[in-house]
Amino acid sequence: MSIERVGVIGGGLMGSGIVEVNARAGLDVVLVEVSDEAAKSAHDRIVASLERAADRGKISPQDLAAALERISVTDDLERLADRQLVVEAASEVEQVKLDLFRRVGRILIDEDAILTSNTSSIPIVKLGAVSGRADHVMGVHFFNPAPVMKLVELIPSLTTAPTTMDRMRAYVTDGLGKEPIEATDRAGFVVNSLLVPYLLSAIRMYEAGYASAADIDRGMVLGCGHPMGPLALSDLIGLDTIRAIGISMYDEFKEPLYSPPPLLDRMVDAGLLGKKSGHGFYPYG
């Protein structure tokens, strides 16, 4: 059974990108945010992104208009009742996600509907356990910016049914035209297990005064051929997200390399979250 009706919970950078990807792929999408104001802001973000894509010739004006017609925004979680797939992209806070999975698991009408999380680190099996439909729950981890990045991590838990995994694999490849990799239900999955220790190491280097932020980033761009330095990348991802992933991975594995350095804690406490807040390791206009 192909997926045609999708719900997305959370309209931040990741959530709005996931909505855009699905709408551009021809799917009907309902975006749920915490308030009417937040829903309108998310819609504005999606419109701006689609307009940039049209300006660059990535999509036609007709495709832009058609994609927007497929998107509905709301602050009412009940609007997800008829969805065949729901992607949770709320804040990377375990209790928030557990509450959402508990509520949405009861709301979905279709017993075959799939409930997924875009989490970077929270155990999928926990989310499935509270949903009341553990065999239809798994992780689907998009990468930022979702309309551009081809990779999607698919993460089944111990209780995910093989048919759920098969449907999600078809959805990602045939439905969205993206490339999936499969990972086990361990904090960090594949990409963040490799990436986050690298980013935290760069933050520790800056904290210790080895070099300026700009020189650390230039070193990795010019010396290793990376498209972006680790501190600029941390700003793009969001320092609060990096910190949350590090805490989750440290809690699971107790490896010091996963533990967020004090500077990261201080920056998050100060609201210096990176590009989304206007300032992180660099200022953003």
Q: Each residue of 192-201: pLDDT tens digit? A: 999 999 999 9
Number of other CB atoms surrounding residue 46 within 10 Å? 24
> Which residues are designated catalytic?
120, 141, 153, 192
Same topology for domains 5-182 and 193-275, yes or no? Answer: no
Q: How far apart are CA 175 and CA 264, in angstroms?
A: 38
CATH 1.10.1040.10, domain 193-275, yes or no: yes
DSSP one-letter code for 173: I
Residues 6 or more apart in contact with residue 88 via CB below 8 angstroms: 9, 10, 97, 100, 101, 104, 115, 116, 117, 118, 119, 127
Q: Six-digit token pair at 277? A: 């807040």
Q: How far apart are CA 233 and CA 228, in angstroms?
A: 6
pLDDT, average across residues 167-173 = 98
Give DSSP secondary structure letters for 44-67.
Answer: HHHHHHHHHHHHTTSS-HHHHHHH
pLDDT of residue 270: 98
pLDDT, average across residues 52-75 = 96
Q: Which CATH superfamily is domain 5-182 in?
A: NAD(P)-binding Rossmann-like Domain (3.40.50.720)
pLDDT of residue 195: 96
Q: What is the mean pLDDT of the chain?
A: 96
pLDDT in tens, 256-272: 999 999 999 999 999 99
List the domain boundaries for the chain: 5-182, 193-275
pLDDT of residue 37: 95
Give DSSP secondary structure letters for 255-277.
Answer: -GGGSPPHHHHHHHHTT--BGGG
